[in-house]
Amino acid sequence: MNQLQSLPDVQLTEDDPGANGERISLEQSEAALSVLEADQLVAAKQRTRFGRRKLSLSAKVLLWGLRIYVVVMFGIVLMSVLHALHTGH
């Protein structure tokens, strides 16, 4: 077996499945796992979640402030567009 190069997490050889462009099959699970990070697997993502983060008071105030900003600004845009349509401008 001709060793091409040692990558940090992949021992790739010319004889490895997929090394010459062929499709990796489900029967070659180890080959697929060797190139994916563990938390890239669909099963890993389904079984693990990031937990809820507690927002600080300042972050909550900022998010609420920006939410109010969005609602007020949307109202202004709506008014100005209705005005523009009404005046035919």
Partner 1 sequence: MDHPQDNPETVRRRPADASIELARVAVAERDLTDLLTHEDIDRAQDRWKVATARVEGKRVMPFGGLRVLWLLVGPGILVFLGENDAPSMLSYAATGSRFGVGFFVPFIVLTFLMGFIVQEMTVRLGAVAHRGHAELIFDRFGPFWGFFTMADLVLGNFLTLVTEFIGVRAGLSFFGIPPSVAIGGTLIVVAAAITTGRYWTWERITMGLAIFNVLFVPAALLAHPAWAQVGHALLHWTPLPQGSKSDILFLILADIGATVTPWMLFFQQSTVVDKGLQPRDLSAGRLDTLLGALLASVFAIAAVLATVPLFHHGIRAGEFQAAQFAQALEPWIGHAGSALFALGIFEAGIVAAIAISTSSAYAFGEVLHTGHSLNRPLREAWPFYSILLGSACLAAGLVLIPNAPLEFIILMVNVIAVLAMPPALTLLLLLVNDDEVMGNYANGRWANVAGVAVTVLLVCAGLGYGLATVFPRLLGG
Q: How far is the CB of 9 from partner 1 (least distance, A)?
A: 9
Site of interaction with partner 1 (CB under 8 A) = 4-5, 7-8, 10, 12, 18-19, 21, 23-27, 29-33, 35-53, 55, 59, 62-63, 66-67, 69-70, 72-74, 76-81, 84-85
Number of other residues whose CB lies within 10 A of the CB of residue 16: 19
Whose CA is closest to 18, among 38, 3, 34, 37? 34
Angle at 48 between CA 47 and CA 49, to 5 degrees: 130
Q: How far is the CB of 41 from partner 1 (least distance, A)?
A: 6
- Which residue lies nearer to partner 1 by CB, 1 or 51? 51
Q: Closest separation between CB of residue 28 and partner 1, Å?
A: 9
Q: Are the CB atoms for 17 and 28 separated by under 8 Å?
A: yes
Token pair belonging to 3: 């060793």
